Structures are given as structure tokens and as C-alpha cells.
Amino acid sequence: MLLVIDVGNTNVTFGVCEGEEFLCVFRLITGISRTSDEFGIHITEILNHHGIRAGEVQDVIISSVVPKVMYSLTSAIRKYLKAEPIIVGMGTKTGIRIPTASPSEVGADRIVDAVAGLDLYGGPVLVIDFGTATTYDLIGKDGSFLAGVTCPGIQLSAKALWRETARLPEIEIEKPPSILAKNTITSMQAVLVYGTIGQTEYIITKMKEESKLKDIKVVATGGIGRIICESTEMIDVYNYQLTLHGLRLIYEHKERKL
């Protein structure tokens, strides 16, 4: 079995797969400081809950945008799963070419999403990840990373509203029935959700227009992304586990090269 791990700014997402099938997916909050033993106990207990023994996990691959988590996490993998984790980073063969002066500036999570988007849906493909930041990455048919746009995610925008204003409350992010809001909560929800829909549609339109590429497949991922995808016809596919699939594909590519 293969354990794939995506360390994001909000959650650490784990997936156990056998071949192309994911047997289980679970998450831990990134912002909580954990020792290697705490990570190890959490991981093994959740695996046991899903009927998977730690010894059945043969390999581990990790993509991370949060360096401070990595020491404890990788130590836990070595100690509790007896595996040496593969870390996706500079030098990892992914099949994605980054023709820029500073390829290291492109986050590992974006490369992993690009791998999955290109493999599963073909190119050119525009991959949108509705995470802590919302990212739009355009990948050419030949695997070239052509362009990327980064903006605050919907949750980040929401936190800015209630943290930086004295009288606005913390709210649940959901789409109100109308943009014609009648109270404070729905007015906040309206600007967050309808504003993100409008932003998403405009960025997709401009990236298609300026790239002059035809038949671009638009693929989205990220938890909040489902709300947006259900509200626009400009996103072709929503795949919540896109990043985990990308990690599996990178691992399989590496294994074939050995």
C-alpha cells in the first residue's frame, strides 16, 4: 500500500491507496503543533480504524508547502511506519516542465495538481485549487507550466472580514439564495461566494483569451471549490482528490524509472 500526504496551509491530507483505488482519506489540522510521536499515534490509530495495519504501508510520498511541519511528520513516518518518505521538490521527476527563471517558486502542491490534471484530463488544462490561496495554473499539452495566478482563498477572505472589522461576526461559508442580502450574515456570504464565482469566471475567461489555446479543460479541486463549481458552467470537472491522485502518479512514475 502507498500512503500519500498533502501538507497544506490549513490541513494535512492523507490517502492510502492500493493501485489506483483509495482505501481511505483522512485529515489533520496543519496549524496544531505536533511532535513526531503525536503524528505517529494519530496516523496509526486512524489507519487501524480503517482496518489498515501500519506494516501494510510500504511507501510514503509527501508534498508540502509548510516546511515547519516536515521534521516531525517525516520522523513519525520513519518511526511508526518504518518507511523512508519521498518528498516532492526540486529534482523530482514529474513530467511537468517549468520554463521560468525561478522554477522553485512554483509550489509542490501546484506541480502535483498539474500532474494529475494533465494525466487524468489531458492538455491543455487549467487547474484551479480552491485552498487557503486560490490558484489557477495553465498547463500545455506537452506538460509545460505556462502560467499561474494566485489570489486569496475564500476562507482567507472571510477571516480578514471578521478579524479586521469590529462588528462583523464569524460566519459559515455557504451560498445564500440571492445576492440581494437582507442581513449582515447573508451580506457577507453573498460577497464571499458570489464574488468568488465572478472572480473565477473572469480569470478563466482572461486566461483562455490571452493564451489563445483552444479546447482548454478546466478542472477544479479543494473543499470550498464544490460550492463554486456548482454555481458556474465554466468549470468542466470537480475532483476533490486531485492532489492525492497527483502524488500517486508521481510515485508510480518514479517506480517505473527504477
Who's near 125: CB < 8 A, 6+ residues apart? 114, 117, 118, 138, 139, 216, 217, 218, 219
Lookup: cell for 198: 465572478
- Is 119 known to be catalytic? no
Who's near 102: CB < 8 A, 6+ residues apart? none
Of 6, 37, 59, 109, catalytic: 109
**What number of residues does the chain have?**
258
Half-sphere exposure at residue 125, Cβ-oriented, CA atoms within 13 angstroms: 25
Residue 247 in contact with residue 255, Cβ under 8 Å? no
How far apart (Å, rounded) are the C-alpha atoms in residues 135 and 197? 14
Half-sphere exposure at residue 111, Cβ-oriented, CA atoms within 13 angstroms: 25
Burial class (CB in 10 A: 0-12, 13-18, 19+), 165: exposed
Cβ atoms within 10 Å of 170's Cβ, excluding its own: 10
Catalytic residue positions, numbered = 109
